[in-house]
Amino acid sequence: MTRLRCDQTPAWAALHTHFATAGRQFDLRDAFAQDAGRFAAFSQQAPHVFADLSKNLIDAPTEALLLALARQCGLESQRDAMFAGEEVNASEQRAAKHFLLRNSPLAQERRAQPAINSIALEALEVQRTLDAMLAFAEQVRADASITDIVSIGIGGSDLGPQMAVLALDAFAIQGKRFHFVASVDGDELAGVLKGLRPESTLFLVASKTFTTLETMTNAHSARRWFEAQGGQDMRRHFVALTSNLAAAQSFGISTTFGFWEWVGGRYSLWSAVGLPIAMAIGAANFRDLLAGAHAMDQHFCSAPLARNLPVRLGLLDVWYRNFHRFASRSIAPYSSALKRWPAYLQQLEMESNGKRVDASGQPLTYDTAPVLWGEPGTNGQHAYFQMLHQGTSVVPVEFVAVKQAAHAPHDLPGHHALLLANALAQAQALMNGRPDAGGHKDFPGNRPSTFLLLEALTPASLGALIALQEHRVFVSGAIWGINSFDQWGVELGKVLARDIESRLQSGDVSRLDASTTGLLERLRRP
């Protein structure tokens, strides 16, 4: 696998020169005025997703230099190594084969002969597990006695399934409610359990190791509630999504669905962790979700770099972060069904690429992942869009819109047209501004945005949209020379929390800093 860090390439130096001479002064309004074909050149259809990149601070020379950077960094060989099942997660000595979870034939199409046989065997195992999981999901869907499904997990075991279940509510089964518990804050679990009955509740406990502190704390509390409320036959009401079958059995769970060490948490919704999604939307729709992601996988693997949407988005992220020095990106889904989309992307991108050393552990001299944040429109317009339009920091915005509403238009006439009009208007206003108004009414404009458009929010289109973002994150991580598949930054706080938990009981403050000591003592006061 060819891999060269971006700051060691000729294209990196050329991009710095280009930014100083042309990129810094780039004006979108002039770009559109001078190029009648700009929209066609900087928009494209990918599987299930149309993308308009024309309102971004790029032109053909900029994109040509960014594509040269990608080639010099060995992006294509890095991508091919991942799809060949090579150990791309070096710090944990693992592959990243989440693509196998959505459609095994893709792996067999790759040309890396040494990995084909082992991947083909794993693909068969993946399919067997998927078939068993979906059969169980259909069994639960047909069981009228189960009215509430409580999914207990954290991180990717919570954010992905929760986001997808909410997004695909139009496809969800009637008569069953889906609840998600992630935080160790007891108020969250208590709020979910309030009003539930043990005989009609099914708990799904998602933890690869079955040792995750927050998840197991909530699982033990859920079991105590179940028993205290007179619940019978725990084995029927608890299911484990884990690789640690022995621990699940020791807990009292007999129904388990496993997944593999190469399934990272933020890529796990395609695996058994996606069981609540399958229960909500059914086996056929879950397969459509996988098929949409597979279609985007094929696009990423086969489309020329210049017309490869994940590549173009990932390179745009590098251009904004390292040259324009934009520190954040706002996610604005104009669909209430995508209300958890910003939170999902926060983990996907910031946990993947929020790194300060390269893949070999050497410090970086440039910035990596931006801060992602946002809210669904039009709510965001009445909250933070003031800053986007008139604030002192430029924040690129990524709009997501859906052409066809999930509700029947004749039931709520005018709603969807107004929603789409607002999305288009905000992107237009950010670009054009109103720079001649003066004073408080001055809008500088020239503020960039990307517009992603789905025909409809379906399992297939959601799958493609998620996979698009996964591959985009891979692209920017590959350019930066980092390992996008580990997350060592989450470990230190866990270790310290275990120490402080015991100190909260004992009152021992020895060897603590003054601030932690003061807070701990205050928390211990009657």
Task: Name every residue whose Cβ is closer than 8 Å to that of residue 315 and which is 6 or more positions away in sequence.
Answer: 63, 66, 67, 69, 70, 475, 476, 479
pLDDT bracket for residue 104 (50, 70, 90) = low
Going by the DSSP 8-state scheme, the letter that residue 370 receives in this structure is P
Kindly report the backbone phi and psi dihedral angles of residue 357, in degrees, each rounded to the nearest multiple of 5, phi listed first. Answer: -130, 155
Residue 382 catalytic? yes
Neighbours of 329 (CB within 10 A): 24
pLDDT bracket for residue 2 (50, 70, 90) = low
Residue pLDDT, tens place only, 186-228: 999 999 999 899 999 999 999 999 999 999 999 999 999 999 9
Residue pLDDT, tens place only, 82-95: 999 999 999 999 99
- Calpha distance 430→394 (Å, rounded): 10
What pTM was computed for the model? Answer: 0.96
125-140 b/e with 16+ CB inside 10 Å = b? ebeebbeebbebbeeb
Residue pLDDT, tens place only, 485-502: 999 999 999 999 999 999
Residue pLDDT, tens place only, 162-181: 999 999 999 999 999 999 99
Q: Which of 220, 382, 403, 415 is catalytic?
A: 382
Residue 199 catalytic? no
Residue pLDDT, tens place only, 137-167: 999 999 999 999 999 999 999 999 999 999 9
- Calpha distance 445→448 (Å, rounded): 9
Q: Which of 86, 351, 375, 470 is catalytic?
A: 351
Q: Which of 220, 403, 415, 494 is catalytic?
A: 494
